[in-house]
Amino acid sequence: MPRILLHACCGPCSLMPLSALKDEGWEPTLFWFNPNIHPADEWLKRRDALREVAEKFDVPLIEQGDVPDPAEWVRGLGGQTAFGERCALCYRPRMLAAAELAAAQGFDAFTSTLLYSKYQNHESIIREAEQGAARFGAAFLYRDFRPFWWDGINMSKELGIYRQKWCGCILSMKEALAQQKEAEERKAAQKAERAARLAVEAEERRRKKEAIAARQAEKEQKRKERLEKKAAEAERS
């Protein structure tokens, strides 16, 4: 059975690639190397989640690297901090490490769980992986795992695997938190707008009810006056 090194960014993204590769006849080994994941507690949570996946799938797990320093990581970007620009610099060290390890330990190929995420740039991942493969004499296996997106999400929830809330680096964390804040503010504004609209509608309904009640009272008063008038006329006659 051919052996493949599966670079893994996290536990949830590993589930379907592992399943798909096994179905193809590969014997996968998970590889944890992610200097782009910050802060330290997040790095540890994702590593521990991957350990849990390795145990559940009964596959080997190779771990490399220590808890990264976010400031050092950002300095290493050389000012390319914008989303999209920095992503290749995020893929590069991981694909190089995977290619080097695959060649050194005689794996038949390597690939990455990054190819599972619909939010990642597949063209950039492929380019970095192929460059790493050429540099170290390894074979890169491209697989588009994105069709299994919802299957992986459902499986991770069923297994109770920790699910992260941002891509990885400290910059993506700040962007995710900013987007979350914007979403909460937008939701709060929509809620306030709805409450104001409902209040206006309630006031309009109250005024309509008062107007209807006033008209009915006026009609009733006129009816009483007519009856009283008729009674008075009857008495005079």
Domain-located, residue 147: yes
- Asked if residue 51 belongs to a domain, the reply is yes
**Does any domain span residue 234?**
no
Q: Determine the pLDDT at residue 237.
A: 66
Strands 3-7 and 109-112, sheet pairing: parallel
Query: What CATH number is associated with residue 84?
Result: 3.40.50.620
- pLDDT for 182 beyond 90: no
| Cβ neighbour number for residue 34 with a 10 Å cutoff | 24
Q: Are 111 and 7 in contact (CB under 8 A)?
A: yes
User: Residue 39, SS3?
Assistant: coil
Return mean pLDDT, the chain.
90
Q: Is residue 174 part of a domain?
A: no
pTM of the model: 0.76
State the pLDDT at residue 232.
Answer: 72
Residue 200 forms part of a structural domain:
no
Domain assignment of residue 125, given as a range: 3-168
In a domain, 226, yes or no: no
Task: Quote the number of domains for the chain.
Answer: 1
Tell me what the mean pLDDT of segment 144-156 comes to.
Answer: 96
d(CA 143, CA 129): 12
**Does 117 score more than 70 pLDDT?**
yes
Residue 141, pLDDT above cutoff 80: yes
Considering the domain boundaries, does residue 146 fall inside one? yes
pLDDT confidence bin for 219, thresholds 50/70/90 = confident
Q: What is the mean pLDDT of residues 50-79?
A: 90
Tokens of 53: 């996946």
128 within a domain of the structure (yes/no): yes
3-state DSSP call for residue 8?
coil
Assess contact for 6 and 113: CB atoms under 8 A. yes
Q: What is the pLDDT of residue 75?
A: 83
CA torsion through residues 167, 172, 177, 179, sign? negative
**Cα separation, 1 vs 116, whole angstroms:** 23
Residue 195's pLDDT is what? Answer: 85
